[in-house]
Amino acid sequence: MDKNFGFLGVEAIVFGKGPTFKKIKKEEGQIHVCVNDSINEIDEPDIVVFNDSISLKKIDKNKLKKVKIIVTPYYPHFEQSYRPKSDFTWLNLKELFPELNCLWYPYNLKTSKPVLGIPTFESSITSSNTAVEWCVINGIKKITTYGVGKESGYNVKFTGSVVEGQIKKIRDDIEYRCKINNVELKML
């Protein structure tokens, strides 16, 4: 597989958990990037992205077996804390799922001690921002999102909430990141 995982020239469809989440059928030339447990609703997930170890507990393990790449911090946020735990790494998560036949893509969170040899992602807002940043870093030039950065709250399929002020930060970061990298973005 090449350095961009064979995804050059594809459109990334990023599925978040917001009110505008919509399940769509994968078309030729698309990859499906799932944020946290949005993967549970997607038939053909290619990538799952999560910043928090607790997110893994909410993910349907049969869906997880379908992914090609798991994107998670080297030091994921541990349980309910937004702070990484120095003795808990992505390798601890990988050991919990030895049956998974996929690539694990660890990266440095901006909020943790950096590990040499892996990228440090600039965005530390949400896993949705991480998903878009991963796409940009890997040369994807067309991104469409469903359930990301449009409205506060979550779709009825998911639990939790996101306040309006956070939505603006999510949206602004994604729009800025795409603009400076000449990425076509549609946030639906």
pTM above 0.75, yes or no: yes
Which pLDDT score, from 0 to 100, does residue 81 have?
56
Which pLDDT score, from 0 to 100, does residue 1 have?
38
Alpha helices in the chain (DSSP H): 53-58, 61-64, 90-96, 127-137, 164-180
Look up residue 10 and give its DSSP letter: P
Straight-line distance from the first to the last Cα atom of the chain, in angstroms, rounded to the nearest whole number: 31
Q: Which residues of 1-28 are buried (b: 16+ CB within 10 A; e: fewer)?
A: eeeebebeebbbbbbbbbeebeeeeeee
d(CA 121, CA 138): 12
Which pLDDT score, from 0 to 100, does residue 100 have?
85
Which pLDDT score, from 0 to 100, does residue 5 have?
76
Which pLDDT score, from 0 to 100, does residue 41 have?
97
Q: Which residues contact 178 (CB under 8 A, 6 or more apart)?
A: 132, 136, 143, 184, 185
d(CA 52, CA 49): 9
Q: Which residues contact 77 (CB under 8 A, 6 or more apart)?
A: 51, 52, 53, 54, 83, 84, 109
d(CA 68, CA 134): 14
β-pair partners for 14: 33, 145
Q: pLDDT means per 10 residues in the chain (188 residues)?
A: 70 96 95 96 95 80 92 77 63 79 88 86 88 94 95 86 84 96 97
d(CA 111, CA 73): 10
Which pLDDT score, from 0 to 100, does residue 178 have?
97
Q: Which residues contact 98 (CB under 8 A, 6 or more apart)?
A: none
